[in-house]
Amino acid sequence: MAADKTSFALIRVLRGQFFFYKPQYQTVAAPHIIFAGGGSLCQLYPGLAVAEILRQKVPGILVTFTGSGRAVERNVVRDAGHRYVALPCRPAPQGPLESLRFLTDNVAGYWAARWMLKEQHVSLVVGLGGYASAGLVRAAQGRGIPYILIEQNALPSQTNRWLAPQAQVVCAAWDCARAHFAPRTNFQVTGLPGRQAFEDLYNLRSRGVMRRDASLYTEQRLVVLSDENDDQTLNNYLPEVFRQLSADLAGWRIVHQTGERQLAAVQDQYAAANLDVLTVAYADRLEAVLDETELVIGRPTGGSLTELCLSRTPGVLVPDTGVNFSQQRANAEVIRNAGGSTVVERTTPEQFVRQMALEVRTLLHDQWRRQSMADAMLRLATPDANDRVAAICAEYLGGKTLRRAA
């Protein structure tokens, strides 16, 4: 009887060891990293740049992006060869009627993210910023999954400041953001990753090499970079600005990116003003466009400024008047203080048109100043940011894999 009890006890021990080790062998698999972000393409591009390096350096890595579900986001991510998952999310409400939808969508997104993190055996989460990243990063925190934050702005969002103390690393574009985080935050100034095409352009520009054929370059180019997520100041009022500057714009070619929903309306405004302006929803191969651009008018988002720095393109920066105004204004101040841009803020429509016309007219006729601003932009560039952030991600992916296999 005693022998039988001993045998059963030994069997139970062996079974316990077997079932204890079996899940360990099952979890020794290629790591799975999720990049959480969206709302605008500028927030996605840093993640795509880092994902491309990780795919080259980490064998068999599985990469997933989560976002708001916009078609343009899905297309960009899938064209890069990664999976895309839409999660319910909604930006901060602009009025009381939006508050309920804000609450229900973001709560649903949080619980969907918790389920996905468990089912997909996620190793690491990278928060790219924006309202579309908050739910999944919070879910990773709740699941005990390591996460890294990429802070694109000089003034961090309240969400990133709240999540930062538990983050493995906060990878920041600007050192001035350090003062806004808790002292115990692992804060590293890596620069903001940019698309590889812009890094290639930087390498050419830093060596004094231009890809364009100067003998064929007969027009100077001014580019407007707007988006359907903006407050539409640029789309609504720049046609009037350019109408007033029609004589000053002789010899200049204007390209205006409007976003999808505003394309037809902006085209109609230019037609009414009798202006020959190339209007597009989104500029394909933007790095090639900026390679032949003397001046940009656009928003001071983190991603946009990274690409302007890498392409050595000076700008007139217009902070959005919406919920991101404070962040964009802080970004613009960093660039203006470095000598790379001027800044025009939206006040009344009449004042904005008058001030914008004055700034643009001055820059159109001052080639030396444009050159000085372009040099300042190049000095602000961080061309190895992609590798820096990818190396940090690979370190934590490797640590997770080793812990599972131990």
Distance between CA 295 and CA 292 in Å, rounded?
9
252 neighbors 325 (Cβ within 8 angstroms): no
Helix spans in 28-183 (H): 41-57, 71-79, 96-119, 131-143, 158-163
What integer pLDDT is reported at residue 329 of this predicted model? Answer: 94
Distance between CA 18 and CA 196 in Å, rounded?
47
Q: Do domains 26-192+384-405 and 197-380 have the same CATH topology?
A: yes
Report CA dihedral (270, 274, 278, 279) to the nearest 10 degrees.
Answer: 10
Distance between CA 299 and CA 176 in Å, rounded?
19
371 neighbors 362 (Cβ within 8 angstroms): no
Please enumerate in sequence order all residues whose Cβ is within 8 A of that of 3, keeping only pairs 6 or more positions apart, or say none. Answer: none
Q: Which CATH architecture fits 197-380?
A: 3-Layer(aba) Sandwich (3.40)
Distance between CA 192 and CA 171 in Å, rounded?
8
Distance between CA 129 and CA 86 in Å, rounded?
16
Domain 26-192+384-405 CATH class label: alpha beta
What integer pLDDT is reported at residue 217 of this predicted model? Answer: 56
Question: Domain map of the chain by residue range?
Answer: 26-192+384-405, 197-380
| 211's tokens | 């890809």
Q: What are the angstrom distances between the C-alpha of 300 and each of 266, 281, 310, 316? A: 21, 19, 14, 9
E-only strand ranges, 327-376? 341-343
For the chain, 406 residues long, give each residue's pLDDT as a single digit of tens. 444 444 434 334 334 333 333 333 334 467 999 999 877 778 889 999 999 999 998 888 999 999 888 888 888 899 999 999 988 877 776 777 777 777 887 788 889 888 999 888 999 999 998 788 888 999 999 999 999 999 999 999 888 899 999 999 999 999 999 999 999 999 999 999 998 899 888 888 777 666 555 445 568 999 999 987 777 899 999 999 999 999 999 999 999 999 888 999 999 999 999 999 999 998 888 999 998 899 999 999 988 999 999 999 999 999 988 777 899 999 999 999 999 999 999 889 999 999 999 999 999 999 999 999 999 999 999 989 999 999 999 999 874 443 333 3
Q: Left if phi > 0, otherwise alpha if psi is -120 to 50, otherwise beta: which for 15?
A: alpha
